[in-house]
């Protein structure tokens, strides 16, 4: 909520502005002010303005060139709006823009207010939160700018994710935009995109709360009409819908409901967007959608009738668990070759026997955007179950999948796509089946000899790793 402003105000327009005890350069520095700070004007002397800072509860003197007096009458509103429009698209000036936005909301009559001002302030608040999280444009003094914005009722949420602090704008003004009948399609779409970010969901939410949040995100995005949107915004909308439907599919599978329709919708939304329309600045949104949908894609595939030399069966274990048993097709009544239980979602449609019945691969998804590859394989007279993870270096999201098997070299072919430390990486690898040690890797399968001959045709047809 934007707070009410006092009359006869000045806005600090420079960072590191010294508030001094006397109107001279050698006067004692009382505090340092930042762009966007609001002050009450109380006089002028020798090129200095006498001001009072209510936030710090301190008066003093500032050089006149570091502040700009603002009027709050209806006649001043057009000038304030013009400055707001300029600052809205000026990275590094978010705190100053929020301050001018608050002044405009005070000056403009209620009948003249539209979604434009709320949209502009909200976009700057979101950008400021991204800077505080270490993404996008890295403005100096971001902590001080956050404090300036907070004096106008701009609230931020923060939480830890993978050892890093994520700061997010709480989105109050974006919700205000959605409530206004006069908001344009672009403004509504931007608001919906801002309110449905996956990286701004608290990772410590319980499964029930997370399912509720994903349902709210789904409804919000479904309410955005695609007509009259720019190609960029339309593609962003498809990417976000794909990621959200992927999350919905996972929640449905976890709760025991059929996830196939939601997973297919995620795939359809991903296919509807064009990555080249997003440009370099938004390409990460496309990659995020690809990884999240790639992790859930097996949900759209029905489990086949067991066949082949190995049979994998699943049964409920303890509360929330699925237990797997691997047996030989010609000796189903004998003791299982291997048994293991998991709290993750087991995609039985991915089970595939390889190496002449000496191994089986299976996709298991323990988290909404994280899918592993389980490898059941025989070593000497014993069977072991090894887990191949998408990544290990502070990963945020990812998947790893079976891509083929080279019998001549006994190498398992896999594809990984993962987001680690904020960066997306995709690689193709050859692993020794006996111990799953990586032998070779490349950024494209064309650079690996065994991929050229032994990649699985079903994988090549269905995978998203070749996007």
Phi, psi values for residue 384, rounded to 5°: -125, 160
Same domain? For 333 and 435 the reply is: yes
Same domain? For 201 and 334 the reply is: no
In a domain, 438, yes or no: yes
Give the pLDDT confidence score for residue 94 in this predicted structure.
95
Give the pLDDT confidence score for residue 118 in this predicted structure.
97
Q: How far is CA 57 from CA 22, 40, 153, 193, in A?
A: 17, 11, 18, 38
Same domain? For 98 and 61 the reply is: yes
In a domain, 95, yes or no: yes
In a domain, 227, yes or no: yes
Last residue of a domain, one of 300, 318, 344: 300
Q: For residue 30, what are the domain limits? A: 1-183
In a domain, 288, yes or no: yes
Last residue of a domain, one of 263, 284, 300: 300
Same domain? For 9 and 144 the reply is: yes
DSSP 3-state assignment of 435? coil
In a domain, 190, yes or no: no
Same domain? For 116 and 244 the reply is: no
Instruction: Name residues whose C-beta falls within 8 Å of residue 313's C-beta, 6 or more positions apart in sequence.
Output: 306, 324, 325, 327
H helices within 151-230, ranges in order? Answer: 172-179, 185-195, 207-222
Give the pLDDT confidence score for residue 393 in this predicted structure.
62
Angle between helical axes of 185-195 and 207-222 (0-180°, round to 10): 170
Sign of CA dihedral 341, 435, 417, 361: negative
What's the pLDDT tens digit per position in 373-429?
A: 999 999 877 899 999 999 876 677 999 999 999 999 999 999 999 998 778 999 999
Same domain? For 138 and 39 the reply is: yes
Same domain? For 51 and 12 the reply is: yes
Same domain? For 211 and 241 the reply is: yes
Q: Name residues of the chain where pLDDT drops below 70.
A: 1-7, 136-137, 306, 393-394
Give the pLDDT confidence score for residue 444 in this predicted structure.
94
Last residue of a domain, one of 300, 318, 340: 300
Total number of domains in the chain: 3
Same domain? For 166 and 219 the reply is: no
Give the pLDDT confidence score for residue 46 in this predicted structure.
87
Same domain? For 266 and 336 the reply is: no
Give the pLDDT confidence score for residue 306 in this predicted structure.
67
Same domain? For 274 and 310 the reply is: no
The CA distance from 344 to 304, in Å, is 20
Same domain? For 95 and 107 the reply is: yes
In a domain, 101, yes or no: yes
The CATH code of the domain that includes 98 is 2.30.30.40
In a domain, 336, yes or no: yes
The CA distance from 397 to 168, in Å, is 19
In a domain, 199, yes or no: yes
């Amino acid at each position: 909520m934007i707070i009410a402003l006092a009359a006869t105000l000045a806005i600090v327009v420079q960072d590191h502005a010294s508030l001094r005890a006397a109107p001279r350069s050698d006067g004692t520095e009382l505090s340092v002010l930042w762009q966007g700070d609001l002050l009450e004007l109380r006089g002028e002397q020798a090129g200095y303005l006498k001001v009072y800072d209510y936030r710090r509860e301190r008066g003093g003197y500032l050089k006149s060139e570091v502040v700009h007096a603002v009027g709050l009458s209806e006649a001043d509103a057009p000038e304030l709006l013009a400055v707001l429009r300029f600052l809205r698209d000026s990275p590094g000036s978010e705190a100053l823009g929020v301050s001018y936005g608050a002044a405009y909301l005070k000056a403009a009559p209620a009948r003249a207010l539209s979604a434009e001002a709320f949209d502009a302030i909200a976009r700057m608040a979101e950008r400021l939160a991204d800077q505080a999280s270490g993404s996008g444009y890295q403005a100096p003094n971001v902590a001080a700018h956050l404090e300036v914005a907070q004096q106008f009722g701009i609230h931020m949420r923060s939480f830890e994710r993978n050892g890093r602090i994520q700061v997010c704008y709480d989105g109050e003004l974006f919700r205000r935009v959605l409530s206004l009948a006069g908001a344009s399609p672009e403004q509504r779409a931007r608001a919906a995109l801002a309110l449905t970010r996956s990286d701004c969901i608290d990772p410590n939410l319980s499964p029930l709360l997370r399912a509720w949040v994903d349902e709210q995100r789904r409804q919000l995005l479904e309410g955005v009409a695609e007509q009259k949107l720019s190609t960029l915004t339309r593609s962003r909308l498809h990417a976000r819908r794909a990621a959200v439907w992927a999350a919905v599919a996972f929640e449905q599978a976890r709760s025991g409901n059929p996830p196939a329709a939601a997973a297919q919708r995620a795939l359809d939304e991903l296919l509807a967007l064009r990555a080249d329309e997003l440009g370099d600045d938004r390409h990460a949104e496309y990659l995020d959608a690809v990884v999240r949908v790639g992790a859930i894609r097996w949900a759209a595939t029905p489990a086949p009738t067991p066949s082949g030399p190995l049979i994998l069966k699943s049964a409920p274990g303890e509360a929330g668990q699925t237990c797997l048993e691997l047996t030989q097709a010609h000796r189903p009544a004998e003791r299982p070759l291997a048994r293991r239980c998991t709290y993750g979602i087991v995609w039985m449609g991915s089970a595939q026997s390889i190496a002449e019945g000496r191994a089986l691969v299976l996709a298991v998804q323990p988290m909404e955007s994280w899918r592993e590859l389980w490898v059941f394989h025989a070593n000497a007279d014993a069977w072991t179950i090894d887990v191949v993870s998408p990544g290990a270096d502070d990963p945020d999201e990812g998947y790893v999948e079976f891509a083929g098997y080279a019998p001549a070299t006994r190498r398992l072919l896999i594809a990984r796509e993962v987001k680690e430390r904020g960066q997306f990486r995709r690689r193709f690898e050859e692993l020794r089946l006996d111990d799953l040690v990586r032998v070779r890797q490349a950024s494209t399968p064309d650079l690996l000899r065994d991929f050229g001959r032994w990649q699985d045709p079903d994988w090549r047809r269905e995978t998203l790793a070749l996007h």
